[in-house]
Structure 1
Amino acid sequence: MPLSQDQFDELAKSLPAMGRDPHSVRQRVEAMEQLLERSFHIPGTKIPFGLDSVVGLVPVLGDIVTAVMGAYMVWEARNLGMSKWQLMRMTANVGIDTALGAIPVVGDAFDLVWRSNSKNLRIIKKHLDKHHPGTRIIEG
C-alpha cells in the first residue's frame, strides 16, 4: 500500500532525528561521530576506536568510504549555516585524516590518534551551543 505525501510527512516527523532542526542535526552528527570514532574498545584497554579505524584497514576503498562519511558531517554543518572558516577547518580535518590514513600501517595507527570526526563534532557543538542553545544536552 503506497503512502501519500501527508502520511510520509507524519511518519518522518514521528521518527527520531529525521528533521532539519538543529536538535535533530545534533543527534545525527553525534551518532555519526560515535559510529566512526568510539563504537568499540581495544580489548583490555579503555582506548576507543570506530569504523574509521576498522574500514580504513581496507586499502584505498576504506579511506574513501570513511572520507565520505566524514564529509557528511561537514555537509550537515553547512546546512546549519556555519561559517566558511569553520567549514574549511572541518574539511581540512577530513582531508588530513584521508591523506595520512591512506598510508599503509602508519595510516591505520594515525586513524586511532587523529580522530577528525571528533574534532569536527566539537566544532559543530560549539556552533550549536552558541547559536542554538536549546539543543544543548547536559552530560553527567
Structure 2
Amino acid sequence: MAGRTIADIEKIWANVEGVKKLSDRVIGIGPVGFGMDALLTWVPVVGTAYTVGTAGWLMWQATRARATPAVLARMAAYMAVDTATGTVPLAGDLVDTFFPGQLLAARALQKHIEATHWVEDNEAAARASGDHERHLATVRDDPKLKRIVYLHD
C-alpha cells in the first residue's frame, strides 16, 4: 500500500462525514434524521443499489484508513442490516427509512480514526531513531488514543 499522509486521513474523515450527512442527515429532526437512503429505499432496485454502493465506498475508505478487522466487521454489520431491511417490501422499507446504517458505519470509522495516533514514517525508521518510544508514550498518556499507525509502512 502506498504511503499516506495525515492530510490523506483527514480527507477520508471529511469524505465519510459527507456521506454520513447525505445518506442519513439531510433533514434532522432532533435525534432522527433522513437523507438519500430514506428517500431512495422506497424506489425498488435504486434504493438497494444506493445502499450497497455507499456500503462499498465506506468499506473502501475504512480499508484506506487501515481500520482494524473489528471496525470493518462492525461497519459491515450496520450496512448488512441496512441493506437487508431495504429489500423487504413495505415493512422493510419503513424500518430502513429510520435505520441510519450509513451514519452508524461512518461514525464507527470516524471514531476509529480519532482514536489513532498517526505517524508519517515507517515503524522500522521510528524504532531505529527512538521515536517509536515517544509515540508509545503519546498513546499511553492520551486516553482517547488506542493505537499507532505508521502511514509509510
1:40 to partner: Cα distance:
2.3
TM score, norm. by length of structure 1: 0.71
Query: What do residues 29-81 of structure 1 show as CA deviations (whole Å, max 9, x unaligned)?
Result: 0000100001125xxx5542000011111112321222211221111011111
Using CA pairs below 8 Å that are at least 6 residues apart, which structure has the higher relative contact order? 2
- Any unmatched runs of 5+ in structure 1? 1-18, 134-140
State yes or no: 1:109 paired with 2:94: yes
Alpha carbons 1:63, 1:102 under 8 Å: kept: yes
Tell me the distance in 2 between the aligned counterparts of 1:132 and 1:57: 41
* Root-mean-square deviation over aligned CA pairs: 2.0
Partner secondary structure for residue 78 of structure 1: helix
Instruction: Tell me the residue number matched to 2:13.
Output: 26
User: Which structure has the larger Rg?
Assistant: 2
Give the aligned residue type for 2:108: I
Alpha carbons 1:55, 1:62 under 8 Å: kept: yes
Partner secondary structure for residue 48 of structure 1: strand
Query: What do residues 79-131 of structure 1 show as CA deviations (whole Å, max 9, x unaligned)?
Result: 11111121122112111111111111112221233211111122112111111
Q: State the number of aligned residues.
A: 112
Instruction: Tell me the residue number matched to 2:114.
Output: 129
Q: Could you tell me the percent identity over the aligned residues?
A: 28
Aligned partner (choices 19, 22, 27) of residue 35 of structure 1: 22
Partner secondary structure for residue 43 of structure 2: coil
Q: Which runs of 4+ in 1 moved over 4 A?
A: none
Instruction: Tell me the residue number matched to 2:77.
Output: 92
- Any unmatched runs of 5+ in structure 2? 1-5, 119-153
Alpha carbons 1:64, 1:98 under 8 Å: kept: no
